[in-house]
């Protein structure tokens, strides 16, 4: 268990070196603050937190794909470019899901949906 925690901490340290990850953490913090000042209910925070954790995990996998691809194919190759593009697209999809969730939560809080 301690070894696994140590490996995970190493992963977080490596991921912190990625600008995109730091931007995602900042965006989550801003959404949390916006939710707080908007008086969003708990379910909004739970959804945002789950989506953030999913985004972070996909960002970590994307970074791993990039690391392995750069190691296995140091020269330009279409397969390497495709692998990186697909990882980037997966992260983009989750960022879009985060934005849609935040807008939905804020919209439904400000304009309650009819029951």
Terminal Cα distance for the chain, rounded: 47
The confidence band for 113, taking pLDDT boundaries of 50, 70 and 90, is low
Q: Give the pLDDT confidence score for residue 112 in this predicted structure.
A: 67
Please say if the pLDDT value at position 114 is more than 60.
no
Domains in the chain (CATH in brackets) are 2-110 (1.10.287.3610)
Please say if the pLDDT value at position 115 is more than 50.
no
Average pLDDT score over the chain: 93
> How many residues comprise the chain?
115
As annotated, the active-site residues are 59
pTM value? 0.88
Q: What integer is the mean pLDDT of 78-107?
A: 96
109 vs 107 pLDDT, higher one: 107
DSSP state string for 27-92? HHHHHHHHHHHHT--HHHHHHHHHHHHHHHHHHHHHHHHHHHHHHH--S--HHHHHHHHHHHHHHH
pLDDT digits (tens, 9 = 90+) for 16-58: 999 999 999 999 999 999 999 999 999 999 999 999 999 999 9
């Amino acid at each position: 268990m301690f070894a696994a925690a140590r490996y995970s901490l190493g992963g977080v340290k490596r991921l912190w070196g990625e600008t995109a990850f730091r931007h995602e953490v900042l965006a989550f913090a801003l959404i949390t603050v916006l939710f707080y000042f908007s008086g969003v209910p708990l379910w909004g925070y739970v959804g945002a937190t789950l989506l953030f954790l999913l985004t972070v995990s996909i960002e970590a996998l994307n970074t791993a794909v990039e690391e392995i691809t750069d190691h296995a194919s140091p020269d330009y190759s279409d397969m390497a470019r495709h692998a990186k593009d697909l990882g980037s697209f997966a992260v983009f999809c989750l960022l879009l899901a985060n934005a849609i969730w935040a807008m939905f939560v804020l919209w439904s809080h400000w304009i309650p949906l009819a029951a």
